[in-house]
Amino acid sequence: MFTGIVEEAGRVVRRDGSRLVVRASVTREGMELGSSLAVNGVCLTAVELDGEYVAFDLGPETLARSALGDLDAGDHVNLERPMRLNGFVGGHLVLGHVDGVGLVTAYETDGETARIRFEWQDPALAPLLIPKGSVAVDGVSLTVAALDDRAFEVMVIPHTLERTTLGSLKPGRRVNLEMDVIGKYVLRSLKVREESS
């Protein structure tokens, strides 16, 4: 479980088929084989460690459900270690289980902040977003600033733009979306209750 507060921007060293190798410094500390790390919001398992390099295997489900398949050597990625149960939750509860892919459709600066618009690709994600609710975009905990039938917008402060990959987003870029876990459980509960009535 994560909080959506990115600890560092790592860099993709190479992609060999389904093997992804990332350079990490802060988040590499304390990692062992089998440890979890959120890479652009996707919870991955470390399968090889070599100095500051961490390797992960991307399964077919991960590649189908996320935008990790778009990554190339040199790309920066948001990295976060799992939260400690005795620590603070600075963002919101993030599982690292991506719900789908979004597309950046607009990126506008407003002074030092940015307003970014994302269009979700799967219509099933629509009921999982609410105005002023939480959403994780490439692993970054954000608040929904505006919402319509097909897209949502977030306002991003300078600190987040500088410390994450969100500052380099451009229209047309695909991103990983994870909706609020509480909303997912509520929606599922209501659906099961309705089906059993």
- Residue 155, domain CATH: 2.40.30.20
What's this model's pTM, rounded to 2 decimal places?
A: 0.92
**Terminal C-alpha separation, the chain:** 34
Residue at 158 is within a domain = yes
142 and 67 within one domain: no
Kindly provide the residue ranges of all beta strands, DSSP E only, lying in the chain, ordered along the sequence. Answer: 8-16, 19-23, 36-39, 42-50, 53-57, 76-80, 100-110, 113-120, 134-137, 140-147, 151-156, 174-179
Give the domain-ending residue among 80, 114, 130. Answer: 80
Say what the pLDDT of residue 89 is. 72
Please check the confidence at residue 90 and state whether its pLDDT lies above 90.
no
Residue at 152 is within a domain = yes
143 and 64 within one domain: no
Say what the pLDDT of residue 33 is. 97
Average pLDDT of the residues in 134-162: 97
Please check the confidence at residue 91 and state whether its pLDDT lies above 80.
no
CA distance 66 to 70: 9
Query: Count of domains in the chain?
Result: 2
pLDDT digits (tens, 9 = 90+) for 116-130: 999 999 999 999 999
187 and 113 within one domain: yes
Residue at 95 is within a domain = no
Provide the residue range defining the domain that includes 35: 8-80
